[in-house]
Amino acid sequence: MTSNGPNAGISVRPAWPGEADLVLQFIKDLAEYETLCHEVSATEDSIDLALFSAMPKAFCEIAEFEGIPAGFALWFYSFSTFRGKHGIYLEDLFVRPDYRGKGLGKAMLGKLAQRCIQEGLARLEWSVLDWNTPSIEFYKSLDAQPMDEWTVFRVTDEPLTRLAEAAP
């Protein structure tokens, strides 16, 4: 996705094998922005396995500005039982501060929207931290709708282990 006009210099491409280090750096940059560095336990090996194994479970787009990697979108397929179709869940979207405002975030979301349309997927969805006003305003400018009536729940680490051990 390269063009003249407002998207000049922007391209979006899949992450390539051998780029686990780049993807991990984007993850660390995002964690720093969100003040969540203490939660990052991903490694180059775990990213490599997730994205580039024979049967990957996650996918990644890299946004470049004038050939320089400037952002990433990490996603996976979800499923809507009500619609009976898959969708895309965008786990993370990040653009490095020096490249914000150039259209890279919109270009990555547009690329994922194209995939949804081409594959007949039901939706593109993601979560955003409630304090992240710039991102919320950006998403609203794209006519994305907040799902205020939903609360995200998560089980990790020891509670996940206890839950697994309690299963029959």
Catalytic residue check, 139 = yes
pLDDT at 23 over 70: yes
Q: Which backbone phi and psi does 65 adopt, to 5 degrees? A: -120, 115
Structural domains of the chain ordered from first start: 5-166 (3.40.630.30)
Q: What local confidence, expressed as pLDDT, does residue 7 receive?
A: 76
pLDDT at 3 over 80: no
Identity of residue 35: T
pLDDT digits (tens, 9 = 90+) for 47-101: 999 999 999 999 999 999 999 999 999 999 999 999 999 999 999 999 999 999 9
Sheet holding 85-95, edge to edge: 10-14, 59-65, 68-80, 85-95, 124-126
**Which region among 11-15, 71-75, 145-149 has the lowest average model confidence (pLDDT)?**
145-149
Mean pLDDT value across the chain: 94
The answer for residues whose C-beta is within 8 angstroms of residue 142's C-beta and 6 or more apart is 106, 109
Bridge partners of 152? none
Q: What local confidence, expressed as pLDDT, does residue 6 receive?
A: 65
d(CA 38, CA 155): 17
pLDDT at 8 over 90: no
From the candidates 33, 89, 99, 139, which is the catalytic residue?
139
pLDDT at 1 over 50: no
pLDDT at 2 over 80: no
d(CA 41, CA 28): 10
Closest CA to 41 of 56, 55, 24: 24
